[in-house]
Amino acid sequence: TTYQNQQTVLQSNSSIRALYKVTAGCCTIVKKNEVVGTLTVGDVFGVLEFVLNSPVYGDCEIKAAKDQTKVSRIEGYYLDVLFSYKPDLCGRFYHYLAKQLSNKLQDLYETQMEKQMEVVINFMELMS
């Protein structure tokens, strides 16, 4: 699907069981009218909600950040049908999702460590 700048791609509390991938342009993650993250070409989102079969992001929305942003969506129903015909794909697919989640956790960890180091450095500068 093609979106224009600021058009909502995914609303909070959406109950659609699907995965999304940015294929052109970029998107922003918006929480309480503040941009808290960016998604660029190749980024996949909705993974945790897909795996847990839970509503999307609580109070966050995904919005197109440029005109002509393209996002592909694959609904869980179609994956279920595919896996019933090709069960060998299921393990590889969920391995891919696990890797996506692992990468996100690693990014969050590194961001948190950078913030903690900043606090320590600022404290040391104040003390000297």
Q: What pLDDT digit, counting tens, does each position of 17-30 carry?
A: 899 999 999 999 99
**Over pLDDT 90: what percentage of the chain?**
48
32: left (phi over 0), alpha (psi -120 to 50) or beta: left
- Check if the beta carbon of residue 50 is closer than 8 Å to that of residue 92: no
- Tally DSSP H helices, then E strands, for the chain: 3, 8
On whether the CB atoms of residues 9 and 3 are closer than 8 A, the answer is yes
Full-model pTM:
0.77
**pLDDT tens profile 99-108:** 888 888 888 8
